[in-house]
Amino acid sequence: MREFNPYIKSVLGMELTPAQVQAFDWYEKELLDWNERFNLTAIRNPEGVRAKHFLDSITCAMVMNGKRKGALIDVGTGAGFPGIPLKIRFPHIQLTLVESIGKKVDFCKHVVDHLALENVRVVLGRVEDIGQDKQHREQYDWAVARAVANLNILAEYLLPLVKVGGLMIAQKGEAGPAEAQLAANTLKLLGGHLKVIKKVELPGIADDRFLIAIDKIAVTPNTYPRRTGVPAKKPLQ
């Protein structure tokens, strides 16, 4: 794990504290151990975990407007990505993790409890329901997700959760820029406006990676998100 810190510094211009390095080291070992039993993630080697999970997660900071405090919701977090690595590196973030699969929720709770991460909620549920819940709707400075769906679908999941003046962040692969263009009308409908498309380069990773940052400039109509399953079956155009 010692070589992980230089990667953080070279990519993001920041370093981890010894306690943060220790937290990531434990997180990596637990993830690999649980993966043997529960198939939490397709990545099953330490190098892949560090680059494609830990480092990739922390790159969200590149578009977070320099803020290191605020409320962040991570939708479809899986084994805690990108939310938990961001929380380890930026402990003052108030974090909510949303996941619909029970075993992944159990793992996230295990990590949060063992690392004694404060101001973290782990929620078992569907994002369509959470987006209509007053406890969550338009309550967050950031809503983030990895590539769980096309951007026009992700926008319907995430933008209802972001307060006006906040930011939606989508971590996307090579199709990210094209998806952003195609989602322009959807973003406008939901109160969003494309802020930046930032290419991310990770050590030893050849795949194209992009951060799509979308400003929340207006309140999302109450109609959205639509009921469970509809956004994916009938994406907004």
Which CATH number do you get for residue 152?
A: 3.40.50.150
Higher pLDDT, 117 or 16: 117
Residue 103 pLDDT > 90: yes
State what percent of residues in the chain have pLDDT above 90.
80
> Cβ–Cβ contacts within 10 Å for residue 34, how many?
19
> Cβ–Cβ contacts within 10 Å for residue 45, how many?
9
- Number of domains the chain contains: 1
Residue 48 pLDDT > 60: yes
Higher pLDDT, 51 or 63: 63
CA gap 112, 102 in Å, rounded: 15
pLDDT value at position 2? 57
Q: Which domain holds residue 229?
A: 4-233
**110-147 per-position pLDDT tens digit:** 999 999 999 999 999 999 999 999 999 999 999 999 96
The pTM of the full predicted model, rounded to 2 decimals, is 0.95
| Long-range pairs of 10-13 with CB within 8 A, sequence gap ≥ 24 | 10/203, 11/55, 11/59, 11/201, 11/202, 11/203, 12/58, 12/59, 12/61, 12/62
DSSP 180-192: HHHTHHHHHHHTE
- The torsion region of residue 80 among left (phi > 0), alpha (psi -120 to 50) and beta comes to left
